[in-house]
Amino acid sequence: MKIRFSRHARRRASLYHIQESTILEILQKQQWPPGTHEVIEHVEGFRYPIKIVAVIEGDALTVITAYPLKRGRKR
């Protein structure tokens, strides 16, 4: 599966100091059917869980955004 990052996702990841490799690790653990999906996962080194929104169309997965989720689920 080909994984692409939208311009918005690249900018959010840069703003919040989230490595693209971290996002790729989270996404490669999962397998989903086509459509829009949200993943919330706690990552070591971050105070809040990381939320990733992605769209799957055919054989391509596009990351829409990624940011620390400051509300809701906390550890």
At position 30, the amino acid (one-letter code) is Q
Structure tokens at 2: 């080909």
In which element (H, E) is residue 13 found?
helix 7-15
- pTM for the predicted model, two decimal places: 0.85
| 19 backbone φψ class: left, alpha, beta (φ>0; ψ -120 to 50) | beta
Q: pLDDT digit string (tens) for 12-71?
A: 999 999 999 999 999 988 888 899 999 999 999 999 999 999 999 988 999 999 999 986
Confidence band, pLDDT 50/70/90 cuts, at residue 1:
confident
CATH ID of 2-68, from 3.30.1330.10, 3.40.630.40, 2.40.50.140, 3.30.2310.20: 3.30.2310.20
pLDDT of residue 72: 57
Whether the CB-CB separation of 52 and 23 falls below 8 Å is answered with yes
pLDDT of residue 36: 95
Whether the CB-CB separation of 29 and 12 falls below 8 Å is answered with no
